[in-house]
Chain A
Amino acid sequence: MRNFTWGQAQTVMDAAAAASVTVADAMLSPPNTNGQAGASIVKAGGIDLLDLLKEKLLTADRITSLKELPGLDVITRTEDGGLRIGAAVTLANLARSPLVLRHYPALANATAHAASPQIRNVATLGGNLLQRPRCWYFRAAEYRCLRKGGGHCFAIHGENQYHAIFDNQLCAIVHPSTAATVLVALGAIVECADAMGAARRVRLEDFLVPPDEDVHRENSLRAQEILTAIELPALNPGTRMVHLKQGETDSFDWPLADVAIVFDLDAERRCKRAAVILGAAAPVPHRAKAAEAILLGRIIDEEAAKDAAHAALADATPLHKNGYKLPLFETLIRRAILRAAADLHA
């Protein structure tokens, strides 16, 4: 890791000003040029950032810590009954927050099972959302892939067992954040602040960028801007939510497949609103619109869950090594729907 100078931002405006370039843009420099001259980036928990710096996928002349910023590491109720989560709240604190456990248990579940306890004690929700993808071609300096400014996705015809089964014609990464799967299902809003003090609020689902929009980045964070908070809308009484993750092992790892279900049921268990979001399925959390359409208006039973799960995978385009994800997702979706419908307290 090349040496850098270190600073600590005291205000959000200073912090945003210290981000001279986004990490995504800084990583577009051709290899062996030592990165963008004068790149100045910001760091919260910095787990992904240190990984990128150590692998020399990213170089920076200056790093500014966000850990001293006041109010960035707290969780508060919003006036409308939703939740505001500071971007620097650690995954560990999020997973054990009574407010999150009580009102958004699927989010607590997703963050409690992300990475290892050691990482969760340091990694922040903001950093989790902004981490770069785990594709091994992207992570290997030897492969100058499309996402790093090269001309080719090596995964599409290569080792793609952990890659996307939707939207994988251009670049086959899956979005690395498990929390994002749940947050998109909940309709979360991200708040960014710029160096002039202006705040920008955008739905997480719109903040995340698919490859055909821009293959060089996973989100629309700009230079001289930092992520400050994630807001969750208030829930209707009786909203149910479940997050299920299937990994390759029972210890820590990114999921092979994960599913977030959020729905509102009436007294007859008829579905009034449904969100079915798949993680580790596409370059951004994938909304299974066909499944949502099937659930809407239906009484949630075994048959409805089965139909929705089947429909969710109908337009999948698996690559030659990840076809196993289809039955995996179909099972997870069916189970998650039934569990959400059964769980009165979820």
Chain B
Amino acid sequence: MAEANTAVSEQNVPFAGAGTAETVQLMVTVNGVDRIFDAEPRTTLAEALRGTLGLTGTKIACDRGSCCACTVLRDGLPVCSCMMLAIEANGHSITTIEGLAAPTALHPVQTAFIEHDALQCGFCTPGLVMSCAALLEHNANPDQEAILDAISGHFCRCGTYPHVMTATLAAAAKMRGDDNG
């Protein structure tokens, strides 16, 4: 049984819904909405978000907590959703890239990423945007060092880091209402 399960999970991650004895029911507040779903204990939060809930904006790249592409906010703090089990999000609040923008406008960090060309292939971008948005939530006027620390876990193999820096400084200025930013 374990062998069969392993073989299946290697091909495509196990998604809940079957309601087997091996799954558990979870309640997670995702982007402000309470979502109730089944998941196996081994299912990572990243897998549940993408597979079960269809929120594919969160990207899985390394799946080992080494690249931060899968960054989401748990109770407001950036975490690697690949290194957290979905079961550990039970009862917590999760914000993904889909929940960052207001209904009618992009988040200022998203706008600044577009305006300052802070992405190329875009695969690492949702994670970077989440980290930069979380930083500005706690620090309205970050210096370069604070931004470097906030994005220190992110791998961008297109090398967009300098533009991410410019965009985040610009977004911070805009959010402060500083027109010259």
Task: List residues of chain A with CB within 8 A of the CB of B41.
Answer: 3-6, 63
B42–A118 contact, CB under 8 A? no
In B33-77, the 8 Å CB interface with A consists of: 40-42, 44, 63-65, 68, 71, 74, 77
Interface centre among B24, B83, B88, B153 (most CB of A within 10 A): B83
Query: Interface readout for B137-171 with A: 1 if CB under 8 Å, 0 if not?
Result: 00000000000111011100000000000000000
Q: Quick one: which of A6, A63, A252 contacts B152, CB cutoff 8 A?
A: A252
Task: List residues of chain B with CB within 8 A of the CB of A252.
Answer: 152-153
Task: List residues of chain B with CB within 8 A of the CB of A251.
Answer: 148, 152-153
B9–A118 contact, CB under 8 A? no
The yes or no answer to A157 lying at the interface (CB within 8 A) is no
Task: List residues of chain B with CB within 8 A of the CB of A2.
Answer: 2, 5-6, 42
Q: Quick one: which of B40, B42, B83 contacts A122, CB cutoff 8 A?
A: B83
Give the A-B contact count at a CB cut-off of 8 A: 83
A117–B42 contact, CB under 8 A? no
The yes or no answer to A11 lying at the interface (CB within 8 A) is no
The yes or no answer to B84 lying at the interface (CB within 8 A) is yes
Minimal beta-carbon separation of A61 from chain B (angstroms)? 9
Q: A6-B41, A252-B153 are in contact. Are A118 and B2 (CB under 8 A)?
A: no
Name the residue on A nearest B2 (C-beta): A2
Q: A2-B2, A63-B41, A251-B152 are in contact. Are A51 and B88 (CB under 8 A)?
A: no
Interface centre among B14, B71, B80, B154 (most CB of A within 10 A): B80
Q: How far is the CA of A51 from the CA of B66 in the complex (A)?
A: 10
B78–A117 contact, CB under 8 A? yes
Minimal beta-carbon separation of A247 from chain B (angstroms)? 11
Q: A50-B83, A116-B68, A118-B71 are in contact. Are A3 and B24 (CB under 8 A)?
A: no
The yes or no answer to A196 lying at the interface (CB within 8 A) is no
Task: List residues of chain B with CB within 8 A of the CB of A63.
Answer: 41
Q: How far is the CA of A63 from the CA of B80 in the complex (A)?
A: 20
Name the residue on B nearest A119 (C-beta): B65
Minimal beta-carbon separation of A55 from chain B (angstroms)? 8
Q: How far is the CA of A65 from the CA of B41 in the complex (A)?
A: 11
B152–A119 contact, CB under 8 A? no
Q: How far is the CA of A115 from the CA of B22 in the complex (A)?
A: 33
The yes or no answer to B131 lying at the interface (CB within 8 A) is yes
Minimal beta-carbon separation of A97 from chain B (angstroms)? 16
The yes or no answer to B173 lying at the interface (CB within 8 A) is no
Q: Quick one: which of A5, A65, A117 contacts B149, CB cutoff 8 A?
A: A117
Q: Quick one: which of A5, A6, A47, A65 contacts B83, CB cutoff 8 A?
A: A47
Task: List residues of chain A with CB within 8 A of the CB of B5.
Answer: 2-3
B42–A4 contact, CB under 8 A? yes
Task: List residues of chain A with CB within 8 A of the CB of B3.
Answer: 34
The yes or no answer to B87 lying at the interface (CB within 8 A) is yes
Task: List residues of chain A with CB within 8 A of the CB of B78.
Answer: 117-118, 121
Minimal beta-carbon separation of B110 from chain A (angstroms)? 19
A121–B87 contact, CB under 8 A? no
Q: Quick one: which of B84, B85, B88, B153 contacts A116, CB cutoff 8 A?
A: B153
The yes or no answer to B79 lying at the interface (CB within 8 A) is yes
Minimal beta-carbon separation of B143 from chain A (angstroms)? 15
In A244-293, the 8 Å CB interface with B consists of: 250-252
In B1-40, the 8 Å CB interface with A consists of: 2-3, 5-6, 9, 14, 22, 24, 40
Q: A50-B83, A122-B83 are in contact. Are A6 and B24 (CB under 8 A)?
A: yes
B64–A54 contact, CB under 8 A? yes
B65–A118 contact, CB under 8 A? yes
The yes or no answer to A82 lying at the interface (CB within 8 A) is no
Q: How far is the CA of A50 from the CA of B154 in the complex (A)?
A: 19
16 contacts between A and B (CB under 8 A): A3-B40, A5-B41, A6-B41, A6-B87, A34-B3, A50-B83, A51-B64, A117-B131, A117-B153, A118-B83, A118-B153, A119-B83, A121-B74, A122-B79, A250-B152, A251-B152
**A-side interface residues toward B, CB under 8 Å?**
1-6, 34, 46-47, 50-51, 53-54, 63, 65, 67, 92, 115-119, 121-122, 250-252
Identify 10 new A-B residue pairs, CB closer than 8 A, beyond the known A6-B87, A252-B152: A2-B42, A3-B14, A3-B22, A3-B41, A47-B65, A116-B68, A116-B154, A118-B83, A119-B153, A250-B148
